[in-house]
Chain A
Amino acid sequence: MKQFLTFVKKEFHHIFRDHRTMLILIGMPIVEIILFGFAITTEVKDSKVAILDTSHDVATRHIIDEINANKYFNVVEYIHNSNDIQRVFQKGEASMVVVFEDHFYETLLHTGKAQIQVIADATDPNTATTITYYVNRIISDYQQTLMGQNKAPYQITPNIKLLFNPEMKGAYNFVPGVLGMILMLICAMMTSIAIVREKETGTMEILLVSPIKPIMIILAKMVPYFVISCFNLATVLLLSVYVLGVPVAGSLTGLILISLLFIIVSLSLGLLVSTLTHTQLAAMLVSGMVFLLPVILLSGMIFPIENMPMWMQRLSDIIPAKWYIEAVKALMIEGLGIMNILKEIGILSLMTLVFTAISLKKFNVRLD
């Protein structure tokens, strides 16, 4: 036991004395949460709108005011010529131009039909769809008020309710994803690199020629990364709750439990990588390419799994982070209890067993 503690102490020395790595380990989660929370966002906010209105009547003014009052839009420019539309888009002055036909209100009153052209920059298709949808809503709302005056006989009003994330905040989606990514990065990648470093620098040679059991060397390597991961888990959760305003709607105990389980899965993956590779570079590439990239792409963090082709959905099943992110979403956002994530707990436990079994089988008590 004393030997084990000596090892753990030595590992902490290694980590604390490498200031740059230390900074990355502690700083990265904070930076990532803040980046995703404020900078990299898929939410549509303050889209710049240009208006081409030659009518200047009651109706167009009403609609323009409505658009401007909406928090998604910001009317930045009034243009007077259809030739200017091209310029506005090319210079990036606006992402949408709303064009009213000549004599808008008059035409509407006399023929009962008037036209508005909505031109959007579809370089980013999602944003374009979203903002045109919003403009549509504003226009149909106006139509309703007009019809309200005329007392239309039948009226169907869809009453849409957005569950769990009524404000459509992006943070609800990426907090679980970032958690999964960071824990995977620190546990799997850093642990495997730390173990392989001993092989590369030759210290493993001396450690093997000693009474200590090789498996103890490995376990001792994992302890500091386990501690750091727990610390990061706490910072990410605190930041999400108090800075981004994402609540922990469900069971906090369940959330901590599943996170600890995910940390253990990632540690066992790191152990597996370390038994299969011989250089730090190889360990880094394997963890980066085989674990990190799929975690980002296939875990549902950025792209919804439901939209993927069937074979890719099956592929995502073998990624631990997918199950973790699913469970975290259930606990944090949907407000479910621990009983609802038993399936995820089961799958992650099974993965731990499999990874550990393979590593132990592959583990070599000698060199090469």
Chain B
Amino acid sequence: MSQNNELKADSNCQLSIVNYQLSSVNCQLQLPTVNCKSISKAYGSVQALKEVSIDVEAGELYGLIGPDGAGKTTLFRILTTLILADKGTSTVGGFDVVKDYKKIRSSVGYMPGRFSLYQDLTVEENLTFFANVFGTTIEENYDLIKDIYQQIEPFKTRRAGALSGGMKQKLALSCALIHKPTVLFLDEPTTGVDPVSRKEFWGMLRNLKEQGITILVSTPYMDEASLCDRIALITNGQILKVDTPQNIVSQFDNILWGVRGNNMHKLLTDLRLHPSVESCFSFGDTLHVMLNNNALTTTALTTWLSGKGHQDVTIFPIEPNVEDCFMELTKQ
């Protein structure tokens, strides 16, 4: 065999190409449901995405976590074939977003960040419309949307424009699900929704995940990150880290202190002046403080603070959350 190869260099070359192509086909079959390879996209002089690569496995609830303007929507639009990337390749469900865009469009569900249903159509008309557009009926896939749709069904003759924020989201989710998509793209579904509805919404997502739908969800709320299987932290068009929320939190290698006092605002500005304080951020009723000098004791810090006029200051160790990790990562 090897002799043969040496004799016929040309055919050897061709043979290896064939082999290579075969292996790439094999590779594609094992590809994750959503795959991005070094995606870049610029709007004029603004670089929205820089060399972004992510993989979403089948059946995963994957969170894209980052502040406004991080590039989440741009990435979603590239994956849903709505815009073209400047560089890089992506596949969704094994289909290329540029070549096979038609196949992707008929198999995924997409819910844009802005409420984009017909406000002058009723709840039922919207749902029927989207069912028919995808060549199906409400009855056919009722099981999938039942839990969600049942909550808004009493209002089915109401115009979509007259619904509350939470109900609008439920309707939009129902419409995105009505054709039983393999992958569901949810762009900031909980922005502008009240905390109770948000919690409820994430409950629905867990249920959908159990039914085997791969879900890619973006959110600016860090507290929602822990509800995902895996998260990608994104800022300024770059992915900072991809891991499970637990791993991301456990990789936080500093000790974090919670600080509370009477005058929280003054406490924050004073703490930031302390030479040993690396960072200090406000989280609800507590300040999260990271020190760069582990020799500093809590008593020493309390004394220093009372010297600044702070009374009843309590300092206690706390577990870091995803937001702490995000802050830490953005600093690097």
Residues of A within 8 A of B (CB): 2-3, 6-7, 10, 13-14, 17-18, 201-203, 205-212, 365-368
Are A14's CB and B120's CB within 8 A?
A: yes
Bound together, the chains give a CA A6 to CA B77 distance in angstroms of 26
Are A203's CB and B118's CB within 8 A?
A: yes
Residue of B nearest to A368 (CB): B83
Which residues of chain B are near A17, meaning CB under 8 Å? 120
Residue of B nearest to A14 (CB): B120
Known interface pairs A6-B132, A6-B133, A202-B114; A208-B120 also in contact (CB < 8 Å):
no
Residue from the set A203, A205, A207, A212 with the largest chain B CB neighbour count within 10 Å: A205
Report the minimal beta-carbon distance from B228 to chain A, rounded to whole angstroms: 22
**B77-92 contact mask (Cβ, 8 Å, vs A): 1 or 0:** 1001111100000000
Are B81's CB and A366's CB within 8 A?
A: yes
The reply to whether the CB of B105 lies closer than 8 angstroms to some CB of chain A is yes
Known interface pairs A6-B133, A202-B116; A211-B105 also in contact (CB < 8 Å):
yes
Report the minimal beta-carbon distance from B138 to chain A, rounded to whole angstroms: 13
With contacts A209-B82, A210-B133, A210-B134 known, what are 8 further pairs, Cβ within 8 A? A6-B132, A201-B119, A203-B117, A206-B117, A206-B176, A211-B102, A211-B135, A366-B81
Report the minimal beta-carbon distance from A206 to chain B, rounded to whole angstroms: 5
- Sorted nearest first, the 6 A-B pairs with minimum C-beta distance are A211-B106, A202-B116, A6-B132, A209-B110, A367-B82, A17-B120
Are B82's CB and A3's CB within 8 A?
A: no
Which residues of chain B are near A14, meaning CB under 8 Å? 118, 120-121
In residues 86-114 of chain B, which contact A (Cβ within 8 Å)? 101-102, 105-106, 108, 110-112, 114
The reply to whether the CB of B142 lies closer than 8 angstroms to some CB of chain A is no
Report the minimal beta-carbon distance from B120 to chain A, rounded to whole angstroms: 5
Are B134's CB and A211's CB within 8 A?
A: yes
Bound together, the chains give a CA A17 to CA B116 distance in angstroms of 18
Which residues of chain B are near A368, meaning CB under 8 Å? 83
Report the minimal beta-carbon distance from B182 to chain A, rounded to whole angstroms: 13
**B131-175 contact mask (Cβ, 8 Å, vs A): 1 or 0:** 011110000000000000000000000000000000000000001
Residue of A nearest to B102 (CB): A211
Which residues of chain A are near B80, meaning CB under 8 Å? 209
Are A208's CB and B133's CB within 8 A?
A: no
Are A367's CB and B132's CB within 8 A?
A: no
Are A206's CB and B112's CB within 8 A?
A: yes
Which residues of chain A are near B281, meaning CB under 8 Å? none
Which residues of chain A are near B133, meaning CB under 8 Å? 3, 6-7, 207, 210-212
Bound together, the chains give a CA A18 to CA B161 distance in angstroms of 13
Are B82's CB and A366's CB within 8 A?
A: yes
Bound together, the chains give a CA A345 to CA B44 distance in angstroms of 46
The reply to whether the CB of B129 lies closer than 8 angstroms to some CB of chain A is yes
Known interface pairs A206-B110, A209-B81; A3-B120 also in contact (CB < 8 Å):
no
The reply to whether the CB of B125 lies closer than 8 angstroms to some CB of chain A is yes
Report the minimal beta-carbon distance from B83 to chain A, rounded to whole angstroms: 5
Are A367's CB and B116's CB within 8 A?
A: no
Which residues of chain B are near A3, meaning CB under 8 Å? 132-133, 135
Which residue of the partner chain, among A2, A10, A208, A367, contacts B105 with CB atoms under 8 Å? Answer: A208
Residue of A nearest to B114 (CB): A202
Residues of B within 8 A of A (CB): 77, 80-84, 101-102, 105-106, 108, 110-112, 114-121, 125, 128-130, 132-135, 175-176
Which residues of chain A are near B117, meaning CB under 8 Å? 203, 206
Residue of A nearest to B43 (CB): A368
Which residues of chain B are near A208, meaning CB under 8 Å? 81-82, 105
Which residue of the partner chain, among B84, B112, B129, contacts A10 with CB atoms under 8 Å? Answer: B129
Are B116's CB and A203's CB within 8 A?
A: yes
Which residues of chain A are near B112, meaning CB under 8 Å? 202, 205-206
Residue from the set A7, A14, A209 with the largest chain B CB neighbour count within 10 Å: A209
Are B116's CB and A201's CB within 8 A?
A: yes
Bound together, the chains give a CA A368 to CA B81 distance in angstroms of 12
Are B134's CB and A367's CB within 8 A?
A: no
23 A-B contacts, Cβ less than 8 Å apart? A2-B135, A3-B133, A7-B133, A10-B118, A10-B125, A10-B129, A13-B120, A202-B112, A202-B115, A206-B130, A206-B175, A206-B176, A208-B81, A208-B82, A209-B80, A209-B82, A210-B130, A210-B133, A211-B134, A365-B101, A367-B77, A367-B83, A368-B83
Bound together, the chains give a CA A207 to CA B134 distance in angstroms of 10
Are B83's CB and A366's CB within 8 A?
A: yes
Bound together, the chains give a CA A17 to CA B105 distance in angstroms of 30
Report the minimal beta-carbon distance from A319 to chain B, rounded to whole angstroms: 34
Bound together, the chains give a CA A51 to CA B130 distance in angstroms of 76
Which residues of chain B are near A209, meaning CB under 8 Å? 80-82, 105, 108, 110
Bound together, the chains give a CA A201 to CA B135 distance in angstroms of 24
Report the minimal beta-carbon distance from A327 to chain B, rounded to whole angstroms: 38
Which residue of the partner chain, among A10, A18, A205, contacts B82 with CB atoms under 8 Å? Answer: A205
Bound together, the chains give a CA A6 to CA B132 distance in angstroms of 7
Which residues of chain B are near A203, meaning CB under 8 Å? 116-118
Which residues of chain B are near A206, meaning CB under 8 Å? 110-112, 116-117, 130, 175-176
Which residues of chain A are near B110, meaning CB under 8 Å? 205-206, 209
Which residues of chain A are near B106, meaning CB under 8 Å? 210-211
Residue from the set B101, B129, B175 with the largest chain A CB neighbour count within 10 Å: B129
Are A18's CB and B132's CB within 8 A?
A: no
Which residues of chain A are near B84, meaning CB under 8 Å? 366
Bound together, the chains give a CA A17 to CA B108 distance in angstroms of 31
Report the minimal beta-carbon distance from B112 to chain A, rounded to whole angstroms: 5
Bound together, the chains give a CA A6 to CA B130 distance in angstroms of 9
Are A18's CB and B81's CB within 8 A?
A: no
Report the minimal beta-carbon distance from B93 to chain A, rounded to whole angstroms: 13
Bound together, the chains give a CA A78 to CA B14 distance in angstroms of 111
Are A6's CB and B134's CB within 8 A?
A: no
Are A210's CB and B118's CB within 8 A?
A: no
Residue of A nearest to B117 (CB): A203
Are A2's CB and B132's CB within 8 A?
A: yes
Bound together, the chains give a CA A207 to CA B112 distance in angstroms of 11
Which residues of chain B are near A2, meaning CB under 8 Å? 132, 135
Residue of A nearest to B132 (CB): A6
Report the minimal beta-carbon distance from A360 to chain B, rounded to whole angstroms: 17
Bound together, the chains give a CA A203 to CA B120 distance in angstroms of 12
Residue from the set B114, B115, B120, B134 with the largest chain A CB neighbour count within 10 Å: B120
